[in-house]
């Protein structure tokens, strides 16, 4: 599996604005935010795309979702609401091939589309 920029962030080899970290995952602000709040939740286990996630690895994505919701509650915008997104491959717009969950919040968000 090829190393991505997110692997370097996980290893603290390059800087990132980290907002949460535990033994399973790391969360940091997106370098090109698409909303007032845009945080990426990245597992420390190597999984390139959602297509590569094995059935016995489902807890990896569950932990990302729980960490995102916990962050929203801690930061006080959980009740206002937020969006979580995972992009997969070309048509999904994935550019970094280590799975990650986008948390977008801080303003009413547009509907999905192209």
The residue ranges that bind ligand 5GP (CB under 6 A) are 5, 16, 28-32, 40, 87, 93-96
CB of 5 to ligand 5GP, least distance (A): 5
Q: Reply yes or no on whether 100 is catalytic.
A: yes
CB of 79 to ligand 5GP, least distance (A): 25
CB of 62 to ligand 5GP, least distance (A): 19
> What tokens does 6 get?
């997110």
Catalytic residue among 12, 91, 100, 102: 100
Complex with ligand 5GP: residue 42 or 72, whichever CB lies closer:
42
Strand partners, 38: 104
Complex with ligand 5GP: residue 45 or 94, whichever CB lies closer:
94
Which residues, 6+ apart, have CB-to-CB distance to 84 below 8 Å? 65, 68, 101, 102, 103, 104
Contact in structure between 49 and 94 (CB atoms under 8 Å): yes
- Cα separation, 60 vs 64, in Å, equals 7
Catalytic residue ranges: 100
């Amino acid at each position: 599996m090829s190393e991505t920029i997110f692997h370097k962030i996980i290893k603290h080899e390059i800087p990132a604005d980290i907002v949460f970290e535990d033994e399973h995952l790391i969360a940091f602000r997106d370098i090109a935010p698409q909303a007032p709040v845009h945080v990426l939740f990245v597992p420390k286990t190597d999984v390139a795309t959602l297509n590569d996630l094995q059935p016995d690895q489902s807890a990896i994505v569950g932990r990302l979702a729980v960490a995102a919701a916990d962050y929203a509650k801690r930061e006080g915008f959980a009740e206002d609401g937020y969006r979580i997104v995972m992009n997969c491959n070309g048509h999904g717009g994935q550019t970094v091939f280590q799975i990650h969950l986008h948390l977008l919040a801080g303003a009413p968000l547009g509907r999905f589309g192209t």
